Amino acid sequence: MTNLPSATEKKLGLAIDLDTCVGCHACVISCKEWNTSNYGAPLSDVDAYGASPVGTFLNRVHTFEIKADNRPAQTLHFPKSCLHCEDAPCVTVCPTGASYKRTQDGIVLVNEDDCMGCGLCAWACPYGAREMDAEAGIMKKCTLCVDRIYNENIPEEDRVPSCVRTCPAGARHFGDFADPDSNVSRLSAERGGVELMAAQKTRPVNRYLPPRPKADVTGDGQIDIPNPFLEAKNQTAKGFLGWLDKALEKI
């Protein structure tokens, strides 16, 4: 039934750190790999080697530039996938009952056996989190890797969404936002995690951690940001090499 649950036991979701994301798209690729080769219809590509390739992805990385007055410009890599909203408009518009939000963990899913491919849920989503698969004609979306996170057939460290597992920068964090002491709740509280397009009143679960302020290199011309990190450490070698080092210094 496409009515939304009034509350869910857990609120599983992602905290995405825009300070550490390097925009490498590894999460995009690992997401595609896991979700095309496991449950449900694969994520198809059309004209993959032709002039205008197009394919289904559940995760996309946009890159923006931010420029404030009298501040240096900075780059913002912005990964975007389903935010598993508490008031998910994509669920209530679904006419067939294919879309639903799980009461146990809040994950928003599509039952592909019921989807008729009308695309209305994709219209209702402000974030572009849903993409209709061109081959299968049914709606695909992020499942928060529901087939990994509870999967006891894979090693415990792999029981997180594929994008989180693969991120080389450690920019993606998975956890329960309903628990104020969880890793993601604490991260979001410390770093002032924000929700996207709050005015749409979708109450997304995922949080984005804004980039830390960059040092101003345009101010007095003195570039001293890296200094604290580059201070010569007293790295004295020991033993024979230490003696050699000192002896050579004296010559």
Q: Is 1 in the site for another protein (CB under 8 A)?
A: yes
Site string for another protein, 109-138 (x = CB under 8 A): ----xxxxxxxx-xxxxxxx--xxxx-xxx
Q: What is the C-alpha to C-alpha distance for residues 56 and 34, in angstroms, rounded to an integer?
A: 13
Closer by beta carbon to another protein, 43 or else 149: 43
**β-strand pairing of 54-55 with 45-46:** antiparallel
Closest approach of another protein to the CB of residue 75, in Å: 6
Among 7, 66, 154, 244, interactor with another protein by CB under 8 A: 66
Among 14, 27, 58, 89, interactor with another protein by CB under 8 A: 89
Stretch that binds another protein, among 5-13, 96-104, 216-224, 238-246 (CB under 8 A): 96-104
Q: What is the C-alpha to C-alpha distance for residues 86 and 154, in angstroms, rounded to an integer?
A: 29
Stretch that binds another protein, among 7-15, 159-167, 181-189, 207-215 (CB under 8 A): 207-215
Among 7, 22, 39, 63, interactor with another protein by CB under 8 A: 63
Q: What is the C-alpha to C-alpha distance for residues 93 and 25, in angstroms, rounded to an integer?
A: 31
Q: Is 108 in the site for another protein (CB under 8 A)?
A: no
- Asked whether the CA dihedral 49, 53, 58, 61 is positive or negative, the reply is positive
Q: Is 60 in the site for another protein (CB under 8 A)?
A: yes
Q: What is the C-alpha to C-alpha distance for residues 18 and 48, in angstroms, rounded to an integer?
A: 30
Stretch that binds another protein, among 150-158, 206-214, 231-239, 240-248 (CB under 8 A): 206-214
Q: Is 219 in the site for another protein (CB under 8 A)?
A: no
Q: What is the C-alpha to C-alpha distance for residues 134 and 12, in angstroms, rounded to an integer?
A: 29
Tokens 């404030």 belong to residue: 68
Q: Is 3 in the site for another protein (CB under 8 A)?
A: yes
Local structure of 56: helix, strand or coil:
coil
Local structure of 137: helix, strand or coil:
coil
Two tokens at 74?
A: 């900075």
Local structure of 52: helix, strand or coil:
coil
Q: What is the C-alpha to C-alpha distance for residues 237 and 57, in angstroms, rounded to an integer?
A: 52
**How far from chain centre, in Å, is Cα 48?**
25
Closer by beta carbon to another protein, 64 or else 243: 64
Among 37, 68, 190, 226, interactor with another protein by CB under 8 A: 68
Residues that bind another protein (CB under 8 A): 1-4, 18, 28, 52-57, 60-69, 71, 75-76, 78, 80, 89, 91-98, 113-120, 122-128, 131-134, 136-138, 194-201, 208, 210-211
